[in-house]
Amino acid sequence: MHEEKRLPMNKKEGLLYGIVICGITASSMCFYNLYLAFGAINQDMLIAFAKSLPLFFVIAMLLENFVVRHFADSLVKKFSDPKDSFNATLLFTILFTVVGMSFLMTFIGDVVGHGLVVNSSTFIRFVMSWPRNFGVVLGLELLIAQPIARKVMVLLHSKQVEEYVEYD
């Protein structure tokens, strides 16, 4: 699957791919959850968004790269076959990544918003928020973030091919 032009082929490209996906997803989910918390788009909500987005972006990048990717990769290996199509493997990867990221980020978002207080309210908020966050992120990944990130990779790789041809 690494020869695929729609995916990163090295660590630098992987970082760019991750930045695109995390940028889209973290900003969208941060905005969405703050909108739900504030009940409106107003100055206070936008200030909270501007303050919290860098934190959530960094947390999302770290979690995806150092925790969730390994979880998702191991599940993809378990539930897919090397003969599976690109789309099937990608769908499994997206699904397992979204499960892990939405689970962790829902909890972290609650901690940031309400403090590290673990009680029945924490559990109730999580149970009410995680399925919604999972659904929104899955749709966002499938329809917006992943297609944009893959398009960036295709453009990058086509540019690299053009540069390679020029040197011949």
The pLDDT of residue 167 is above 60: no
Q: What percent of the chain has pLDDT over 70?
A: 93
Within-domain flag for 133: yes
The pLDDT of residue 163 is above 80: no
The structural domain count of the chain equals 1
pLDDT given for residue 164 in this prediction: 61
Within-domain flag for 45: yes
Q: Which residue has the higher pLDDT, 167 or 87?
A: 87
Within-domain flag for 1: no
How far is CA 102 from its chain centroid? Answer: 9
Q: What is the DSSP letter of 68?
A: I
> Residue 70: which domain range?
11-167
Within-domain flag for 37: yes
Confidence of residue 2 (pLDDT cuts 50, 70, 90): very low
Q: How far apart are the C-alpha atoms of 96 and 127, rounded to whole Å?
A: 19
Within-domain flag for 5: no
Task: For the chain, state the CA radius of gyration.
Answer: 18
Cα atoms in the Cβ-side hemisphere of radius 13 Å centred on 41: 4
Tokens (6 digits) for 11: 């660590």
Rounded to the nearest integer, the mean pLDDT of the chain is 93
Q: How far apart are the C-alpha atoms of 134 and 101, rounded to whole Å?
A: 9
Confidence of residue 165 (pLDDT cuts 50, 70, 90): low
Within-domain flag for 135: yes
pLDDT given for residue 129 in this prediction: 97
CB distance 6 to 17 below 8 Å = no
Within-domain flag for 159: yes
Q: How far apart are the C-alpha atoms of 7 and 15, rounded to whole Å?
A: 11
Q: How far apart are the C-alpha atoms of 6 and 11, rounded to whole Å?
A: 15
Q: What is the DSSP letter of 66?
A: I
Within-domain flag for 4: no
Position 75: which residue type? L
pLDDT per residue over 111-155, tens digit each?
Answer: 999 888 888 999 999 999 999 999 999 999 999 999 999 999 999
pTM of the model: 0.88
